[in-house]
Structure 1
Amino acid sequence: MNTSQPDRTYLYEINAQEFASSDNTQTPQQLKAQAGIEPTHVVFRVDQNAPGEQLDDATPISLSGSQVERFYAIPREDAQERPHFKFNVDGQRYESLRPDVTGADIKLMAGVPANALLFQEGRTSADQRIEDSTHVNLARPGTESFYTSLPANNGSVDAPVRGPLDTQFAALQQIYPNAELTHQPDGTAWVRVPGIPLTPAWTEPQATVKFVVPNGYPASPLDCFWVEPPLTLRNGASPANTGHNALFPQDLWFSYHVQGWSPTENSLLTYVGVIRQRLNAGN
């Protein structure tokens, strides 16, 4: 009689991807090889209540526990200090000490009402709803972004229709992928756009600009902008109609006003075009 036991498959996750092993004991080196991760990356075991335990490449790990083991791997240079995992909720930046969080964790850290609906912005696919019990991996390259909505009276859980600001900002990011949108408690918002190309009239090849989105936008027009230092004209003169104010005291404020703003025809993207036109003037 053949008394051998049938083969068993042991599941584990690394960087939010699931893999299977026929061996119940693996080393971090073996996990990285199977997942196609750079061998120089450092592996951490996910801990629900702590940043995670860093594992030596040769440490044997049992995969036969009652729950699926979770790990994340990051470049060694990023692991020199205890990593903080950044994410955005409704345009605000937050940090977590651990990469494996649930929807409930995200709402708690962001101070979102417990009954709010939470959605994750899709990078290459549609946005998806994140349940309170859904696990989210914050260790992927880039920053994960989420947005919230209070439940509709009819109990609908579909992703809410984006308002004009969110829709326009998504279009802006198609051209300027490093642009940032920060909602403020008073209902205004700040937009920061790095990588604005400059003409040879300036001593720098690029600039980072900021502007405020007022309450009532887009009916209320955009007005004025700031440029982060350094920004210097090559001829040594000060740019025309500039100064400093309390909102961004370290930045150079351009008193520049748009004539004939149309809430139906103009957008964040066209306003950045207006800013570029002003800077291209080179004075």
Structure 2
Amino acid sequence: MSLTGHPNCRRTEQFIAFDSDRLFYVALNGQRFPWGLAHIREDVLRQVGGIAEDQAIWLERRKVPDQLLAYGESVNLDEPGIEKLYTQPKSWQLNVQGVMVNSEKPTILARDALNAAGFNSDKGWILVLKIKGEPKQNIGVNDVIDLRHPGIEKLRLTPAEINNGEAAAAPGLEFALLEQDVAYLNHLGLNWETRLIGARRWLIIHDYALPSGYNHGLVNLAIEIPTAYPDANLDMFFVHPALTLANGSGIGQTESRENIRDKVYQRWSRHLNGITRWNPLTDSVITHLAVVEESLMREVGQ
């Protein structure tokens, strides 16, 4: 069969051939046209219907809520109860430091996202874009965020610190880490400090984001840094507040508690062993944070 272009389509004419002995019909925005297969994909609907990218395609159904079609999703034209397809302006969302920002366009300037969430974009922020399954990305306020990118989770804000390069420690830094550790922590946009408590030294990372599946989304993460580090190994980690799984189940080897700066932290006894045991020539805060992340992901099956 042949099919001329939808009246709303800007293309002059298009022909689609099917090897089929039956016709199905698609009703889209009041226009009805034949189709030679029992299924039609969302992207094909856009093509033949001339649907702009800023429009969402909805499937009207009987006795159940209408269904928003995802990109590439197919509609079964032979399924009972299908009424028609229609379009509405599409809306995208971005979590900006816990504030949901709606956008009528698929892209948004980071500066505009901050302002829409109620943050002063001129204050000087370190911006970190979190995308599921990908490394965290540091972006600038004038960078464009493509909200169509799969897995975008959050835009995290951390106040930027400016110094003149003096050797003296800034407030909140009571002992020095390795230069590579500092560069890595700052690259991730983390809000961190180093604290001396008696003879013990602690790296504390504030508002450390957790994978889904826990009773909290953010924690303070503490790692004890021995005086002889990196010759002495980093071991275990501590979180405040204490974590359970989202269903209330406890987590093994997390029963001990540690008081750090008047807060009670939960100790996670996780240790390197075998061929992964600590190597002072290659291991650091950087590799230990990988242990932390893997331990947290493992408990929730990610």
Task: Flag whether TM exceeds 0.5 (same fold).
Answer: no
TM-score by length of 1: 0.41
Higher relative CO (CA 8 A, sep ≥ 6), structure 1 or 2? 1
TM-score by length of 2: 0.39
- In our comparison, the structure showing a higher alpha carbon Rg is 2
